[in-house]
Structure 1
Amino acid sequence: MATAQPRLVELLSHYVPRDPVETADVARVRALVERVGDPWRRTIPLHVTASAMIVHPDSERVLLRWHERQRSWLHVGGHGDPGETDPLAVALREGHEETGLTDLTPWPGPELVHVVVVPVPAKGDEPAHEHADLRFVLATAEPDAVRPEKPDAPLRWLSVSEARAATAEDNVRATLSRVEGLFPGLTG
């Protein structure tokens, strides 16, 4: 089936996985995009999501959000709204909605930083499923402007090492390692 997702095809065709696990995940996401007309549909067992690690480059800190469903500190992001097809636009919208930050910009550029397939537990009428998560890095110059979307979703600015210790998810730790390499003070 011909895909109606040119932005997804473009992003994935230029993306280079960093290890065997990510290579397998990217292959699954590419197959999904080629096979399904709308890979963002929440009704399919594996569907595309977009997310971001929000950073404050000057302080070399990252922002984590408490996710009650996963019972862990994670980055921000989620599902595309109907009609959305650009993963970066989804990550920007979700970042703004979940943090209140209005100045988010791709950092250091609009490239994907990580592609990972993550399991999501069942909740209510929604069965367990998987997210084909496309991850970006977004920056803010106004970290103090952050505000949680809702009371049970607090936000925390942390150093990369603090964030690595705070999250229970290995895939988030892998994303944090990639982000850490972008901070000049942490790489030299």
Structure 2
Amino acid sequence: MVSTAGPIAGALSRHRPRGATEIADVARVHALVRDAPDPWSQSIPLHVTASALIVHPPSRRALLRWHPRQEAWLQVGGHGDPGETEPLQVALREGREETGLPDLEPWPNDALAHVVIVPVPAKGDDPAHEHADLRYVLATAEPDSARPEKPDALVRWFDLPDAYDATTEENVHETLSRVENLLTG
């Protein structure tokens, strides 16, 4: 059986959490990886997801996606598909699917940018649960090629101050802050 936890544990081992909240979230993800047969499984109340904030470094803009379920502008990302175990590969696939951008690459490197546990409200038959979200930064050289995956999942480029204003989630503000530090050097 292929381990689904190894790539997650590897990414976490290279990440340096910042602040008490992220330290606690990383500890919970370590426990999940240690204890769950498949930490990506959507059948458990806390499971791993991977996401990314997409940037266009020359213009210092970030691409956000409208998430109808959360009714919020957020980063792109989501669940691993069956057989996927590498968080960065999940973030890249989700980024390409949700934005149509074919040239996404890790930026400025392939390190995790942020680890956060996010509550997800119940919807229909899907109960409330939590995502252990492993966040990356991806860049494109073709920002005008961005297209929404579906009509109610708009994508939009924001200057960073406008991205802060468009988002309401404190954890997304923290991710934006980290990206702003990378963009401004």
TM interval, short-chain normalised: over 0.9
Matches within 5 A, 1:1-188: 4-184=4-184, 187=185
Distance 1:4 1:179 in 2: 28
> What do the CA deviations read for 1:109-158 (whole angstroms, capped 9, x no partner)?
00000000000000100000000000000000000000000000111100
Unpaired runs of at least 5, structure 1:
none
For 1:130 and 1:179, the matched residues in 2 are separated by: 24
Change (3 A) 1:70 1:4: closer
Deviation at residue 14 of structure 1 after TM alignment: 1.8
Amino acid at match of 1:136: Y
Can you give the 5+ residue segments of structure 2 that lack an aligned partner in the other structure? none
State the secondary structure of the residue aligned to 1:183: helix
The superposition leaves residues 72-130 of structure 1 with CA deviations (integer Å, 9 ceiling, x where unpaired) of 10000000000100000000000000000000000000000000000000010000000
SS at match of 1:125: coil
Equivalent pair of 2:4/2:40 in contact (CA under 8 Å): no
**2:50 alignment partner AA:** A
Residues 7-26 of structure 1: CA deviation (Å, up to 9, x unaligned): 11111112111000000000
Structure 1 segments, 4+ long, off by >3 Å, are: none
Flag the 1:81–1:156 CA change in 2: closer, same or farther, 3 A.
Answer: same
- TM-score (normalizing by structure 1): 0.96
In the aligned structure 2, how far is the partner of 1:23 from the partner of 1:142?
Answer: 35
Write the distance in 2 (CA, Å) between the matches of 1:108 and 1:16: 16
Q: 1:153, 1:79 → 2: CA distance?
A: 16
Shift of 1:4: 4.3
SS at match of 2:89: helix
Identity across matched positions, percent: 66
**2:151 aligned counterpart, secondary structure:** coil
Deviates more, 1:88-97 or 1:13-22: 13-22
Query: Number of residues paired by the alignment?
Result: 183
Instruction: Return the TM-score normalized by structure 2.
Output: 0.97
CA offset digits 1:23-78 (Å, max 9, x no partner): 00000000000001210000100000000000000100000010011111000000
